[in-house]
Amino acid sequence: MKQFMQQPSAIGPVAWVGIVAAIAVGGCGPAEKPAPTAETPTADKPTAETPTADTLTELRQTLAATTDDQMRVLTIDTIATFGQKAKVALEELQAATAAADPRSRWRAARAIGLIGEDAILAVPVLVNMLADTDPIVATQAAAAIGLIRSDDGRTEASLQKTKADATIYKTAVDALIKEMTHPDARVRRASLRALRFFQLPPSVLVPLVNKQLSYADPSAVLPALHTLADMGAEAVPFLMESLKNKNSRYWATVALTEIGPAAEPAVALLAEAVDAGEPEERQQALLALAAIGQTAAAATPQIVAILESDDENLRLAAAFALGRMRAKAADKALEKAAESSEPFLASIAGWARASMDPNNKPLLEKAVAALRQNLKSDQSNVRSGSVFALSDLTDELGAGASAALADDFISLLADPDTGVRTSAAAALVRLGSVAVAALQATLNDPAMRVQGIEILTAIGPAARPATDAIIQALSDSDPLFQGDAAMAIAAIGPQAGAAVPALQKILASSGGDPGPRYSCVYALGSIGAAADSAVEKLIELTRSDDKMLATVAVWAALKIRPADRSLVETAVPLLRQALRGEQELVRLEAAVALGDIGSAARTAIPILELIAEEDPVKSVRAAATEALAKVRTP
């Protein structure tokens, strides 16, 4: 069964997918889904807006006495609003960290962290919580340790004057470093972030982390480096040290490749890496420099030399890197490579030269012709890499030439190789509106229509010319394809108002696969005000026993009538629950909706904080961070 708001299965940004496949290099892989936990958000209940000292005393008594899990959670959340003043409740909060209910445990850790430096004596308790079986509890324990240390204004030097405190923090540092190889990405990320607050110089901290990575099982090193890559620029110092370690060098370059331009500080070390180590390590270093782009120009001499290598893959990677770097100083070397007897190398070198001189029409046309010829190669990596290179040149081509490429790419959607199909789909997304007419034609082809409509979905509002064809697909007998069509309408958004009657017709149906109904509700919300005629039905669905449907319905109703405050009371608990869903888009939309509700969604602050720090997807973390700012505004 297709789940509500499922993202297109084979579509992503063009970026590296083609050329990386072409030269047979691995990557860190997609962002991880949240691992299953025992966290089950509860319905919101009113809490004190402006607690008083008397209220805090009562809250401590309640927390110490209650055996009700939900009452404990709400009490802890209210105590947490006192911040540093909640120090008087530290004993009760520490006791709550041993509760059977994981929601109580992670909220207790959070509340302790918000007390700040005055909670230093609770750090050993938080250290023990890093081993909790529930990863959310462990992440919040790590975050709380970081909050306490960040609030402690003492330098490392002055801290040594208080041996007891220095020992507490030293134990915490050691424990956090061990969590760098935790199986859950959220725990890894929270631990690394907490370590930043300990004011340890990179010369001390980075070797400790790399020592842990060196001793870890290889299967644990890759996820840890993926977490570092996901953190972007702030992780570059760690990865630079990993480049110096033979046990982690290769995976560090993979992570730096994912980081891209923000990895510029590593250029000198990567330039050294292209001249040393195993071929696959050198190759990955070249790809990392390519990902950094023009600011990696200092490495040009080392890369040019590799064009004379005996290793074909290294030559390909070198030509690709020079093209991505727009390294004009390498033009002569690339011109020579473009005359190579190896067709793929010659075409990639030609692409690199055209990339550096896009106004040179003869050069551009020659590169395009060679790459289009490569699309017929019997080698899948050549086809995939050529798709990428062609896609990279489309901005310089006229509409007619780009439309011809769209036809080429569509033909490759039936390629027997998965990588080629993925590259072609990504290239079509990049073409955008130019590809819409050709993609619309695929909707009548049973073998191509699913890919076609998913690509139209990824193109988004620019796919508007295909609206009528997509509306027709809403009446298809296949419920899965109906759902796909509804998601395409949702991606077009407010300009797809003509689809409202067809969407309402599906919504009025009962029985059968519920998937299309989820997608139709989401589409109605995405259309917005033009779908006002559907609000009455959506409000009815907010009371559905199907919690997924109820959640999507309340979200959609709020998108259509954002000023209707009567929906808020129903919306907040459902959206809180949606923040813990498995699907990325569900969590993202829930965060955005809570932000739109504003201060009336203040009971969602703990969950939003958790998502803002620990969600495995950057866009979801960003949405939660933005929502927090709105919710906290009076």
pLDDT(353) > 70? yes
Angstrom distance (rounded) from CA 627 to CA 590: 10
3-state secondary structure 253-296: HHHHHHHHHHHHHHHHHHHHHCCCCCHHHHHHHHHHHHHHHHHH
Query: What's the CA angle centered on 297, arms 293 and 301, to 5 degrees?
Result: 130
pLDDT digit string (tens) for 401-410? 888 899 999 9
pLDDT (average), residues 548-568: 89
Task: Name the band, by pLDDT with cuts 50, 70 and 90, for residue 150.
Answer: very high
Angstrom distance (rounded) from CA 240 to CA 264: 11
Angstrom distance (rounded) from CA 43 to CA 57: 25
Closest CA to 47 of 609, 602, 623, 606: 602
Instruction: Assess contact for 298 and 280: CB atoms under 8 A.
Output: no
Q: Which of the residue ranges 83-97, 200-214, 419-433, 500-514 would you say has the lowest mean pLDDT? A: 200-214
pLDDT(91) > 90? yes
> Token match 């988004």: residue?
460
Angstrom distance (rounded) from CA 579 to CA 557: 18
Closest CA to 190 of 259, 134, 230, 140: 140
pLDDT(42) > 60? no
Chain centroid to CA 472? 33
pLDDT(44) > 60? no
pLDDT digit string (tens) for 527-553? 999 999 999 999 999 888 888 888 889
Cα 196 to Cα 158, 242, 387, 586: the distances in Å are 18, 17, 42, 31
Angstrom distance (rounded) from CA 498 to CA 527: 10
pLDDT(17) > 50? no
pLDDT recorded at residue 73: 92
Q: Which of the residue ranges 15-19, 240-244, 332-336, 543-547 would you say has the lowest mean pLDDT? A: 15-19
Angstrom distance (rounded) from CA 249 to CA 254: 9
- Mean pLDDT, the chain, rounded, equals 85
3-state secondary structure 187-234: HHHHHHHHHHCCCCCHHHHHHHHHHHHHHCCHHHHHHHHHHHHHCHHH
Most confident range (mean pLDDT) of 161-170, 171-180, 454-463 is 454-463
pLDDT recorded at residue 610: 86
Sign of the alpha-carbon dihedral angle for 481, 485, 491, 493: negative
pLDDT(577) > 90? no
Of residues 34 and 212, the one with the higher pLDDT is 212
pLDDT (average), residues 384-393: 90
pLDDT digit string (tens) for 606-619? 999 888 887 878 88
- pTM for the predicted model, two decimal places: 0.72
Instruction: Assess contact for 562 and 577: CB atoms under 8 A.
Output: no
Q: Which of the residue ranges 39-53, 96-110, 434-448, 472-486 would you say has the lowest mean pLDDT? A: 39-53
Instruction: Assess contact for 258 and 20: CB atoms under 8 A.
Output: no
Task: Name the band, by pLDDT with cuts 50, 70 and 90, for residue 72.
Answer: very high
pLDDT(512) > 80? no
Instruction: Assess contact for 76 and 107: CB atoms under 8 A.
Output: yes
Of residues 281 and 234, the one with the higher pLDDT is 281
Burial class (CB in 10 A: 0-12, 13-18, 19+), 168: buried
pLDDT (average), residues 182-201: 83
Q: Which of the residue ranges 258-262, 438-442, 544-548, 599-603 would you say has the lowest mean pLDDT? A: 544-548
Query: What's the CA angle centered on 291, arms 289 and 297, to 5 degrees?
Result: 45
